[in-house]
Amino acid sequence: MHDFHTHTNYSDGRFLEGMVEAADSTGLEGIGLTDHCTVTARDRPATVRNVYGFNLDLTYERRRRAIDELRDRSDVSLEIYDGVEMDYDPRDERAIREFLAEAGFEYTLGSVHAVDGLNVQVPSNFTGLSEARLDAVVDDYFETLVTMIESELFDVAAHIDLIERTPPLSGRATIDHYDRVARALADSRTIPEINAGRATAATALVHPDEAFLEVLREYDVAVTVGTDSHRPAEIGERADFLEQYLASRDLDPVSPPGLE
């Protein structure tokens, strides 16, 4: 069992060493460190980047040295992968492409967190909007997701129905949305993940949801896995959940393409 989606103190997670040690003690064979990164000059996302520390473009070399030091330790037996979770906006494609070429991560996650500058994880951003406007936000979310996949910038598309965690947006996605994303993935090197970041919480939410997963399977789209853990204590429980989830659905996950 590998975990290809975790965060450390190089973005909004806990100390890197503790994350790796927790994964090792859990019995994982590998952990991917995929700290958030935002590359943009636009005001709103640049502010988010500064507030939350999504600036791995400034610190990836320092983090890489820390990874190398942990790899050299005799008491750490699992593989440690040097990855990134990059915020995607079509307007930033050139900057993203240039940075990823420069940094040379072992693999990359791409994620859509915002539509029209509004974070889709924040319910208050969408309170009071009309039904038609909420549906339009969902349309824009999936349009951006497809554009991200078609860009071929990333190995993995992270939490591909992130809007399901947000009450004003949840339940508005359609099979047509899922079908379009699945077709894009089937034609791309990019693969989606089974993300357990909220699977063991009260919401018991897995990305993608069952209906979306079924459409992906119809298109024979491969999947990888990630716990999306930000704290050491989260890794074991979420990894156990993923192992049972995959077995119950007869899913055989693959590694991100960059590692193959």
Question: How far is Cα of residue 78 from the mean position of the Cα atoms in its chain?
Answer: 21
Q: Tokens at residue 242, please?
A: 């993923």
Tell me what pLDDT residue 58 has.
Answer: 93
Domain assignment present for 203: no
Domain assignment present for 241: no
Tell me what pLDDT residue 137 has.
Answer: 97
Domain assignment present for 233: no
Average pLDDT, the chain: 95
Domain assignment present for 31: yes
% of residues, the chain, pLDDT over 90: 92
Is the pLDDT reported for residue 221 higher than 80? yes
Tell me what pLDDT residue 46 has.
Answer: 65
Can you tell me the mean pLDDT for 62-88? 97
Q: Tokens at residue 52, please?
A: 């939350």
* pLDDT bracket for residue 155 (50, 70, 90): very high
Range of the domain at 109: 2-191+213-223+247-259
Domain assignment present for 25: yes
Is the pLDDT reported for residue 115 higher than 80? yes
Mind listing the pLDDT tens digit for each residue in 240-255?
A: 999 999 999 999 999 9
Q: Is the peptide bond before 192 cis (omega within 30 degrees of 0)?
A: no
Q: Tokens at residue 174, please?
A: 């359609």
**Number of domains making up the chain:** 1
Distance CA 244, CA 239 (A): 9
Can you tell me the mean pLDDT for 226-230? 98
- For the domain that residue 86 is a member of, what is the CATH number? 3.20.20.140
Tell me what pLDDT residue 43 has.
Answer: 66
Per mean pLDDT, which range of 42-56, 78-92, 118-132, 238-252 is the poorest? Answer: 42-56
Is the pLDDT reported for residue 258 higher than 80? yes
Is the pLDDT reported for residue 257 higher than 80? yes
Is the pLDDT reported for residue 47 higher than 80? no
Distance CA 195, CA 216 (A): 14
Domain assignment present for 12: yes
Domain assignment present for 253: yes
Is the pLDDT reported for residue 233 higher than 80? yes
Tell me what pLDDT residue 227 has.
Answer: 98
